A and B are shown apart, each in its own frame.
Chain A
Amino acid sequence: MKIQTQRQPGETSPWAVLSWLLIAITAYWLLPWTALEYGLGDFTAEEWVDALGWKQVRSTLVLPILLTLMIPLAWLRISAKISGGLWAVVPGLALGALLIGFTATETSMGLGATVIAICLAALFAVGMAELGFQRGDTFIAGAVIFVIFMVSVFIFFPVGEIFNNVLFDKAGIFSPFQFFRIITSFGVGRVIGNTLVLAFSVGLATTLFGLAFALYAVRATTRIRYLIKVFYILPIITPPFVVGMSLILIFGRAGMINDGLMYLLGPAGLLIPEGSPGLFERSGYIYGFLGIFLAQTLSLTPISYMVISGMLASVNPAMEEASLTMRASRWATMWHVTLPLIRPGIANAFLLGMISSAADFGNPLVLGGEYDVLSTEIYFSIAGAQLDFARAAALGIILLVLSLSIFYIQNKWIGKKSYVTVTGVETAGNVTPLPRGLQRGLTLFVVIWFFLVGLLYFSIFLGGFVKQWGADYTLTLSHHLELWSKGLESGAWPSFLNSMSYALLAAPLTTLVGVLIAYILTRKTFYGRGIIDFGTVLIFAIPGTVIGVAYILAFNTAPIELTGTAAILIITMAIRAMPVGIRGGMSALSQISTSLEEASLLQRAGSLRTIRSVLLPLLKSTIVSSMAYSFIRSMTTVSAVIFLATAGTDVATTYILSRVESGDTGVAVAYGSVLIFTMLVFTLLVQFTMGRARTDKQVKTI
């Protein structure tokens, strides 16, 4: 495609250019060029002044002088080619020089340098637009360059660092065989095997149970099915490892089951004749494969349910009715028509279950025992005394490759095999009922499941109020008091407030970038789009522990030193929640006809105005729900943040895990139940207000 210059000479608003220039110049003179010793939270005036650019390196003075000289150019009416070239080349080169300079001198970028880098990127976008990039649309060109910039810094660079750490040994010497040395070393094969066996089993189990729930929710004629629509909220608002904790409360060594069996069959048990030895010993059977499997199956089944039920609901009932008219029984219809139609959904649910199981970190950490999987092994390579970054990186690569390949299969293979045209219209009414026997069986299954889940959540709630689970069931408030009554400086408050404020900052950030990426992916084609495509795939597929390792490796040293700051946690939360924004944005945008935007353009509105006046109002509910969901995910995430949280930036989940590790189960579950309760209230609040908004005058058909 030949790029057309749609821009007339001097068409960029000089004022926009001027403001970027002035921000950069001001940042140079007032903000620290290099990073402050103790971060932006704790500094003296002297440190601040010392960190200014002209104090640090005299040669940086070139930058503000250059930018000042460029101010008049904004008003100069010269041909688009020359001015575009000027604006693309000068800021572009300056940006490159800045980044290379910091890397070469091993200095960390300060706030000032960061702001200047962003301004230079914006000016570069102006230049590219004048040269015809994105048909001369400065806003779109800026957005694209911004997204590429973000993805490069926060995805490609950290992932690259992982490979870097594997390819070079500690002394920085190129050692291409280090990777193979690590993965063939003792125990690694077992860890990989464990991960695969677990992922496969969990994938199978969640698919089967998810299918059962989907059939029941969409097709059963009983009333309990309405409860299912509520039940998928639970795992979303529950931190992943809390399910594991509750399993310990029930099945653990000091859990209800062991207690009950001990009471009946243990030494001096109720059913044991006096004097004879007990038939039962307390057992830790829940630690290991069984425990992780149960916990993951319980928390991942709702995801599989959502995938399958979505597909089941869009099966055209006419096909099943056609089968019934041809003398097929309900069983035969189910077997030969319904299930084959939703086969892609089933396969999708299976792969999703596998990915999620392999990526899960919290449950194996809490329940794993001797059963090591990749995600925990990565963590222990760094967290323990070993500090073996190369090993963590190598295991991270394996987990990443595993996850990427499943993701690839999911996209390439299943994406094309859907027989069901998803119209978005749920076929209301006349659904084919289930075979009677199946319905009875499923009812029993669903009731048992609900009972188990209810028991789990009840035990979490109760666990916070008893003195010592398994030993002393006296009711007490001491756990909650310890958490919440010791002032804002200690107990649970610091971590809780950190979680809240980071998640509140991450949610709009991730939604903004996510929807922007969705917009670019659905609306724009250009050279270099592949960068964004690939970045998006990585964002979707990369497991949390891998992000954690990658960020530790990438942002621990110059030029971008972020470890220990709140910023790195906010960014991590934003990246982890980004699939929500991207997916939501893409599905919403694909329902909005592009002719709406074109109609707006033809009414003399620019692209920024079109996005503001046409797209944003139509995306309102998507944006709100994406922000809410991102917030919840950020509050409950653990895998990536556990690598990055420090004493000063502890968050709720890491705090709870640390209490679990130190054996304070009561405190941990007390905190967990408060967290779940907060998220539940928040979710209901959002759903309530969203429901209200929908009854207002809103978009019905687009």
Chain B
Amino acid sequence: MSDASIKIVLNNVSKHFGKVRALDAVDIAFAPGTLTTLLGPSGCGKTTLLRLVSGLEPVSSGEIWFGDENVTNLSATRRDVGMVFQSYALFPHMTVEQNVGYGLRILRTKPDDISKRVQEVLEMVAMDGFQRRYPDELSGGQQQRVAVARAMVLRPKVLLFDEPLSNIDSKLRRSMRDDIRRLQQASGITSIYVTHDQAEALAVSDEIIIMRNGSIEQQGPPQALYHRPRTTFVANFIGESNVVDAELTGEGTHRQIVFGDARVDVTAGMPIADRKGPIKLSLRPEVLEIRPFENTSSSPMLHGVIVQRAYMGPVIEYTIKTRIGALFTRGPASASQFKESDEISIHIQPENIIIIPENSKA
């Protein structure tokens, strides 16, 4: 994080298009120098939020602050923001050099300084030497790098990425993702990154904000979202998850979580305080361990029948029918395998059970 890093704050920001409410009274703080991902299904408001921060779209109400400056009424041109567009938006009639140097020319930088600065940023994205090419003479990945260089050339206070990797083939995506992360960390520019790909979000972000229907569902570091999802929606959206219904029974120290045949003692630290009755659990596929059928009640254990298996190379995916619904898990392809309609038992370590604290409203 450099000294120039600034904090971005949104206070009670709303945006509607006609009668459609795209963002509903959102409060967010983006910490200085971090990369925060806005993650959510299409139509959740993540791109709208990005465009509000950029100034390309005016807010309907609320305030946006960059550091201690209120930028709500500043146009995009004056906000000091760099943006990488989904389509890259490279000017097709300009060379790479002209594209990257465009903003410098607008600011009337001396021509020598322009080419020096352009070379610097092109080196950063490993595109030095391509100055005279036109965008249509570059591959998708190269265009992407030029777009990143252009966004960073003016050393903006804020960097915005609008699904930057969605037009790149999957093999290249991983290395581009890492490059973006490295450049962002080196520059220390507070960045916001929009994507609908949860794996990409987990890999690049300091923080992830899950959005849904124009409001924020949960904000936190990737690990926190994965291991402590606060809602079913988040549990399903980040990673794979079997969300099942459970029941809280008992009083005082004898409280237990009951789901199917399994019973788990409630321990301190579980986010259920003194609630009773139905709750929801998230069981990640990797914590479900399949064993041949054992008729013991050594809990927590579920019983079920394999209804479908799919060979995936290193692993085999199983769908298991249980009393609490169909569960999805994987087993190693090398070890003992199970066949369809085998009766099996599922073991779960109690500490791996994720309790979703939301009131089961959904």
Do A598 and B89 touch (CB < 8 A)? yes
A702 to B93, CA, bound (A): 9
**Minimum Cβ distance to chain B for residue A694 (Å):** 13
A701 to B90, CA, bound (A): 11
Does B359 reach chain A (CB closer than 8 Å)?
no
Which chain A positions have C-beta within 8 A of B102?
A: 600, 603, 605, 613
Does B212 reach chain A (CB closer than 8 Å)?
no
Do B75 and A697 touch (CB < 8 A)? no
A130 to B77, CA, bound (A): 16
A603 to B151, CA, bound (A): 8
Question: Which of B73, B77, B92 lies in contact with A8, CB distance below 8 A?
Answer: B73
Do B154 and A697 touch (CB < 8 A)? no
Evaluate whether A617 and B75 lie within 8 angstroms (CB atoms) in the complex, with A604-B154, A700-B136 already known. no
Do B103 and A603 touch (CB < 8 A)? yes
Interface residues of B: mostly helix, strand, loop or mixed? loop
Interface size range of chain A in the complex: 20 to 34
Do A598 and B93 touch (CB < 8 A)? no
Question: Which of A137, A604, A697, A699 lies in contact with B103, CB distance below 8 A?
Answer: A604
For chain B residues 67-93, which have a beta carbon within 8 Å of chain A?
A: 73-78, 81-83, 85-87, 89-93
Which chain A positions have C-beta within 8 A of B362?
A: none
**Minimum Cβ distance to chain B for residue A82 (Å):** 16
Do B82 and A4 touch (CB < 8 A)? no
Does B148 reach chain A (CB closer than 8 Å)?
no
Question: Which of A593, A606, A697, A700 lies in contact with B77, CB distance below 8 A?
Answer: A606
Do A596 and B58 touch (CB < 8 A)? no
Which chain A positions have C-beta within 8 A of B86?
A: 595
Chain A residue with the shortest CB-CB distance to B58: A4
A698 to B92, CA, bound (A): 8
Do B89 and A601 touch (CB < 8 A)? no
Do B82 and A602 touch (CB < 8 A)? yes
Do A699 and B93 touch (CB < 8 A)? yes
Which chain A positions have C-beta within 8 A of B233?
A: none
Which chain A positions have C-beta within 8 A of B93?
A: 617-618, 698-699
Chain A residue with the shortest CB-CB distance to B135: A701
Which chain A positions have C-beta within 8 A of B56?
A: 598, 601-602
Question: Which of B61, B73, B74, B83 lies in contact with A602, CB distance below 8 A?
Answer: B83
Do A2 and B85 touch (CB < 8 A)? no
Chain B residue with the shortest CB-CB distance to A613: B102
- Interface-centre pick from A1, A598, A604 (highest chain B CB count, 10 A): A604
Do A6 and B82 touch (CB < 8 A)? no
Chain B residue with the shortest CB-CB distance to A599: B89
Report the tally of A-B residue pairs with Cβ distances under 8 A. 85
A4 to B56, CA, bound (A): 12
Interface size range of chain B in the complex: 20 to 34
A697 to B136, CA, bound (A): 11
- Interface-centre pick from A599, A697, A700 (highest chain B CB count, 10 A): A599
Do B89 and A596 touch (CB < 8 A)? yes
Which chain B positions have C-beta within 8 A of A1?
A: 17-18, 60
Does B134 reach chain A (CB closer than 8 Å)?
yes
Which chain A positions have C-beta within 8 A of B268?
A: none
A595 to B150, CA, bound (A): 14
**Minimum Cβ distance to chain A for residue B184 (Å):** 17
Chain A residue with the shortest CB-CB distance to B83: A602
Do B83 and A599 touch (CB < 8 A)? yes
Does A5 reach chain B (CB closer than 8 Å)?
yes
Does A614 reach chain B (CB closer than 8 Å)?
yes
Question: Which of A2, A8, A609, A698 lies in contact with B106, CB distance below 8 A?
Answer: A609
A603 to B76, CA, bound (A): 9
Chain B residue with the shortest CB-CB distance to A699: B92
A596 to B73, CA, bound (A): 22
- Interface-centre pick from A8, A596, A698 (highest chain B CB count, 10 A): A596
**Minimum Cβ distance to chain B for residue A129 (Å):** 11
Does A135 reach chain B (CB closer than 8 Å)?
yes
Which chain A positions have C-beta within 8 A of B73?
A: 4-8
- Interface-centre pick from B54, B73, B87 (highest chain A CB count, 10 A): B73
Does A544 reach chain B (CB closer than 8 Å)?
no
A609 to B134, CA, bound (A): 21
Do A604 and B107 touch (CB < 8 A)? yes
Question: What are 26 A-B contacts defined by CB distance under 8 Å?
Answer: A2-B61, A4-B59, A595-B87, A598-B54, A598-B56, A598-B76, A598-B83, A599-B83, A599-B91, A601-B56, A602-B54, A602-B76, A603-B103, A603-B106, A603-B150, A603-B154, A604-B77, A604-B103, A605-B103, A605-B106, A617-B93, A618-B92, A618-B93, A698-B93, A699-B92, A699-B93
Question: Which 3 interchain pairs have the tightest Cβ spacing?
Answer: A603-B103, A595-B89, A599-B89
**Sample of 13 further A-B pairs with CB below 8 A, known A2-B61, A698-B93, A702-B92:** A6-B75, A8-B74, A135-B75, A136-B75, A595-B86, A595-B89, A598-B54, A600-B91, A604-B103, A605-B102, A613-B102, A697-B134, A700-B136
Q: Which residues of B contact A (CB under 8 A)?
A: 17-18, 54, 56, 58-61, 73-78, 81-83, 85-87, 89-93, 102-103, 106-107, 134, 136, 150-151, 154
